[in-house]
Chain A
C-alpha cells in the first residue's frame, strides 16, 4: 500500500477535487483505493465521493466516530466496513474504491463526536495512547483491505493532525499552493518541516511533490516568488523511477472555471478530458504520481495527452 497525503497550507486550492479525481481514476484502472478524510474541522470528501450512498444510507460512521470507538473500546475496534462507503467505479474496471469520510458532517452528531475525540485522544500523549489509534487505523487499512493506494485528505494549515497525516502516515505528500507569496511561503515552511520530521522505523524518506494550482498566467521567473519555487523544487526530491518529467519541473494545474469552480469529479467520464484543461492537467500529474498505473486508453477515456 502506498500512502499519498494531499496537503495545502491555505484552503481553496482544489485539494479534495484532485484527491477525488485521483481516487476514481486509479479505481477505473483496476486499482484498489481507499480515500481517507482527515480534514476533521472542515470535512467534505464525501461530497465528492459517494455522496448519494452517504445520504441514502444516513451514514453515521467515518474516521472520527471510528477513532472515538477505538479509544473507548480498543480491545475490540469496530469493523472497518461500518465506517466506510463503497464508491461506485466503472463496471469491468476491476478496481474498487472505498471512502472513509471524516464522519456524518455537517450533522450535529458529527460535531459532538469530534468534541468527544478531542476529549479522549491527545496525539501528543507521551504514553503513545493518542497516536496508536491513528497508526493502527493506517495499518489496519493496509492489512485488512489491502488497497494499492491510500489517499489522505490532510487538514489545511498547521495542525497536529495535518502534521501527522503528512509526516507519519504518508509516503508521498502532494503540497498544493496558489501563485501568491503567502501561499508559497507557508508551503515552503511546511515542506522543509516535512523533510526534517521523524519517520517510523519501517518507513523510507518522505517524497514531497509541489503542485501550483489555479494558475491563470505564466508564473514569474524572477523575484521572491521564483526564488521560493526554486527552493521548493530543491526540497521536492523525487524517486528517479517514478518521474518521467524532467527533474526540477513544477506541476501546474490551471484555473478552470467550469470544472474547478463546480468541483466536478471528472475522472472516469469519457468526455471530461476534452473539455477540461484542469482534468487534462490532473491526468499529467497522475502520470507522475502513479506511473505504473496510468493507461488512460485502457478504460476508454479520450486521452488528452495523445490528442495533442
Chain B
C-alpha cells in the first residue's frame, strides 16, 4: 500500500473517530484503526523524516485514545529503540504516555495517586478475572 493511500485512509479514519467522539458514541475501535494505519505509515517512513515522526506519534496517540495502554507502551518502546529515533521524538513519545496518565489523574482527582495502581489492578483483573481466581 502506498504512503499516499495510507495517508488518505488515516485522514478519513481520524475523521470517523472524531465524529463518534462528538456524538458520544464509543470510538475505541475507530481509534484502534487509526493507530493501526499510522503504524503502517511508520513502518513505511523512517523516524528520521518528519512524516515518519508524525506517524509514530499518531500511532501512539491513537492507541491511547482507543484505551489500549499496552499497545501504546509497546509502540513507544519499539520506536524509542529505533536507531534513527531522534532525542526529540523519544521525549515526545514518552510525553504522550505521561500526559495520558496525568489526564486520568486530573479527571479523577480524588484518586489521582492511584493511576498506576489502577492499571496494574486492571491487568490483574484481565488475567485472572474476578478475585483473580481464573489466573
Residues of A within 8 A of B (CB): 70, 72, 74-75, 119, 123-133, 135-136, 138-140, 142-144, 158-160, 162-164, 166-168, 189-190, 193-194, 196-198, 200-202
Residues 44 to 93 of chain B near chain A (Cβ within 8 Å)? 64, 67-70
Residues 100 to 125 of chain B near chain A (Cβ within 8 Å)? 100, 104, 106-111, 113-115, 117-125
Nearest Cβ distance between residue A192 and chain B, in whole angstroms?
9
Q: Cβ of B67 and Cβ of A138 under 8 Å apart?
A: no
Q: Cβ of A163 and Cβ of B125 under 8 Å apart?
A: yes
Contacts of A166 in B (CB 8 A): 131
Whether B130 sits at the interface, judged by CB under 8 Å, is yes
Q: Taking CB as reference atom, which chain A residue is nearest B110?
A: A139
Nearest Cβ distance between residue B124 and chain A, in whole angstroms?
6
Q: Cβ of A168 and Cβ of B110 under 8 Å apart?
A: no
Contacts of A197 in B (CB 8 A): 124, 131-132
Beyond A119-B26, A190-B131, A193-B133, is A135–B125 a contact (Cβ under 8 Å)? no
Q: Cβ of B131 and Cβ of A124 under 8 Å apart?
A: no
Nearest Cβ distance between residue A92 and chain B, in whole angstroms?
32
**How far is B111's CA from A132's CA once the two chains are assembled, in angstroms?**
7
Contacts of B113 in A (CB 8 A): 202
Nearest Cβ distance between residue B9 and chain A, in whole angstroms?
25
Contacts of B121 in A (CB 8 A): 131, 168, 198, 200
Interface size for B (C-beta < 8 A) is 33
Beyond A131-B118, A136-B110, is A160–B129 a contact (Cβ under 8 Å)? yes
**How far is B125's CA from A159's CA once the two chains are assembled, in angstroms?**
11
Q: Cβ of A74 and Cβ of B107 under 8 Å apart?
A: yes
Whether B3 sits at the interface, judged by CB under 8 Å, is no
Known: A123-B125, A128-B104, A197-B131. 18 other contacts (CB 8 A): A70-B108, A72-B24, A75-B106, A75-B107, A126-B67, A126-B126, A128-B69, A128-B118, A132-B118, A135-B117, A136-B110, A139-B111, A140-B110, A159-B130, A160-B129, A163-B125, A163-B132, A198-B132
Q: Cβ of B125 and Cβ of A143 under 8 Å apart?
A: no
Q: Cβ of B126 and Cβ of A124 under 8 Å apart?
A: yes
Q: Cβ of B68 and Cβ of A129 under 8 Å apart?
A: no
Q: Cβ of A193 and Cβ of B131 under 8 Å apart?
A: yes
Q: Cβ of B131 and Cβ of A158 under 8 Å apart?
A: yes
Nearest Cβ distance between residue A133 and chain B, in whole angstroms?
7
Contacts of B129 in A (CB 8 A): 160
Contacts of A133 in B (CB 8 A): 108
Contacts of B68 in A (CB 8 A): 126-127
Can you list 25 contacts pairing A with B, beta carbon distance less than 8 Å?
A75-B107, A123-B122, A124-B122, A124-B123, A124-B125, A125-B67, A126-B68, A126-B69, A127-B104, A128-B118, A130-B122, A131-B122, A131-B125, A132-B108, A136-B109, A138-B111, A139-B114, A158-B130, A160-B125, A166-B131, A167-B131, A190-B131, A197-B131, A198-B120, A198-B132
Contacts of A127 in B (CB 8 A): 64, 67-69, 100, 104, 119, 122
**How far is B115's CA from A125's CA once the two chains are assembled, in angstroms?**
12
**How far is B128's CA from A123's CA once the two chains are assembled, in angstroms?**
13
Q: Cβ of B125 and Cβ of A129 under 8 Å apart?
A: no
Contacts of A193 in B (CB 8 A): 131-133
Q: Taking CB as reference atom, which chain A residue is nearest B123?
A: A126
Contacts of A159 in B (CB 8 A): 130
Nearest Cβ distance between residue B106 and chain A, in whole angstroms?
8
Nearest Cβ distance between residue B100 and chain A, in whole angstroms?
8
Q: Taking CB as reference atom, which chain A residue is nearest B101?
A: A128
Q: Cβ of A126 and Cβ of B70 under 8 Å apart?
A: yes
Contacts of A119 in B (CB 8 A): 26
Q: Cβ of B133 and Cβ of A160 under 8 Å apart?
A: no
Contacts of A142 in B (CB 8 A): 110
